[in-house]
Chain A
Amino acid sequence: MTDSTGRTILLDGSGIRRAITRISHEILEKNKGLSDVVLIGIQSGGAHLVREISRCMEIIEGERVLTGSVDITLYRDDFKSQNPHKSVGKTDIAFSLEGKRVVLVDDVLYTGRTIRAAMDALMDYGRPTNIQLAVLIDRGHRDLPIRADYVGRNVPTSTKENVEVLFDGQQQPVEVILEK
C-alpha cells in the first residue's frame, strides 16, 4: 500500500496489536512466566510500547510486570556530530536491575547503536542476569553485532528510506510507515 506521497503503511493499528500480543506471549514463554522479568523501554517510542506490552502481559498472566524507561542521550556515541544539543529525556528505573531478566524494548531496530547505548546505561543500574531485546520493527543495516530476541515484523529497507512508528495523543501506537 503506497500512497501518492511515497508512504507505505507497514503495519496498521490491528497489525501492531497482534504483533504486541505475540511478543508478549513469546517473552512469557521464553522466561517461563514473569518472575524477575522487567520491561525497560527506550525513550520515547520504546517507552510507549512497554505500556502496551505490560498491559497485554497482565491480561495473560493476571500479574503486573515491573516497568521502567531509559533515555540514551547521555550515552550516545555521536555526541560530537549531534550539534547543538537537545534536551535530555527522563530515565526512570525505580528498582535495581541486579539479578533481573531485562527485556529492552524499542520501536525500530536499525544500526544497533541505540541499543548499545541503552545497554551501557542499564549496566549503571546493577548487573542484570541477562538482557533481551524486543522491537516492533527490524529494518536491518546493523553497524554492531546486535540481534533482537523478539521481533514484531522484519522489513527489508534501503538506507535512504525512513521507518517510523506513529503514536496518537495518548501515546498509543497507530501505525508503522515507511517513507522513501
Chain B
Amino acid sequence: MEFRHKHIIALRDLSKEDIELLLATAESMREVNSRDIKKVPTLRGKTIINLFYESSTRTRTSFEIAGKRLSADTVNIAPSNSSATKGETLADTALNLLAMKPDIIVMRHAVSGSHYFLANKVNCSIINAGDGAHEHPSQGLLDMLTIKDRFGRLDGLKVAIVGDITHSRVARSNIQGLTKMGSSIYLAGPPTMMPPGVEKLGNVTVCNTMKEAIQDADVVMMLRIQQERQGKTLMPNTREYSRYFGLNPENLKLAKPEAMVMHPGPINRGVEMSSYVVDGDQSHILKQVENGVAVRMSMLYHVCGGELAE
C-alpha cells in the first residue's frame, strides 16, 4: 500500500486504504515518541512552515513537535506577527513563503476551502490544520487512532457526536473518516447548530435528543461550543445548553459501560462536559493529544513521498 497524495486537505479526499495506511504509520511513529532519544533523521533538510491564521496551542505545538521528531526544520508564523495584519493577501503571503523554498506548509485558516486555493498556487505540500467550518483532518485521524486503540477496530461502532455540528470542522472530519471506516454516526445538538442535509454524508443519523444519540454508544465525542464563531442567537445561555446537551455522569450511564469519552479541546468545563466526566475513567482526552503527535508525524512523512493524485 502506498500513499499517493501530495496534500492532505480533507479526509473526504482520502480513501479507506489511505486512512488505514496513515493510522498504521502513526502506530509505528508512536514507538519513536516513547524512546529516550525522540528523534529520527527521516525528514532531515526539509523545511516545514506552520502558518496559523487562527489561534491554536495544541495543533500548532503538536505539528511542530512532529516535524522536529522527524528532524525537519519547523518555522511558526502566527497572525499577530505576520504581514496579514498589514493587509497582505493569502496568495501573496504564500508566494513569498514559497520563495524561501519550504517543503510543507501546514496551515490553519478561518476560510473554508482556502487550502485548495493555496494548493493551486504553490508547488510544495499543503497540510490542513483546520479551515473554517470545513475539515480538520489531523484531528479526525487522531480521534480514529484513539478509538482504534481502545476497541481494536473502527467498523461497527456507534459513535455519538454532540454539540455545535454546524461550526465544527472536527465533526466533519470525523464524519468523513469514520463513515469510510464503517462506524455509524449519531449526531445531537440544538437545531440551530445542526447543518441541514448532514445525514446525506453517509451512515449518519440526526437525533432529536442527546439521550437518543448516546444510548448504547461505544464512543461519545463532545464538541466545544465555539463562542468565537457563532452569533449570539444560537443558544439562550450556556446553562441551558449544558442542561440539554452537556455530558455528565448521569447521562453517560446511557452509553455502553465500556464507552469512551472524547473531546477535541479546549474544554469549556461545566458547559459541554462536567468536570467529573473530563477527569473520569472513561475520558480519553489526553490520549487524543498524545496520539496527535504520532498522527501528524505520519502525515508529514507520507506527504513528503506523495505525488499529486491526479
Hey, which bits of chain A sit against chain B, CB under 8 A?
A: 71, 73-76, 79, 82-92, 96, 120-121, 124-126
Contacts and interface: CB of A to CB of B under 8 A. Distances in A.
Interface residues of B, number: 28
B42 A90 contact: no
Nearest to B22: A87
Contacts of B37: 124-125
A88 B25 contact: yes
Given A74-B41, A120-B41, A124-B40, A87 B305 contact: no
Contacts of B29: 88
A131 B32 CA distance: 21
A84 B305 contact: yes
A120 B40 CA distance: 9
Interface string B168-207: 0000000000000000000000000000000000000000
A24 to B, nearest CB: 28
Given A74-B32, A90-B31, A125-B35, A85 B40 contact: no
B157 interface: no
A87 B304 CA distance: 13
Interface of B: 1-4, 21, 24-25, 27-29, 31-32, 35-37, 39-43, 70, 298, 301-302, 304-307
Ordered nearest first, which 8 A-B pairs have the shortest CB separation?
A85-B305, A88-B28, A74-B40, A74-B42, A84-B305, A124-B37, A84-B2, A88-B25
B31 A85 contact: no
Given A84-B307, A124-B35, A91 B3 contact: no
A77 to B, nearest CB: 9
Contacts of A84: 2-4, 302, 305-307
B307 A85 contact: no
B305 to A, nearest CB: 3
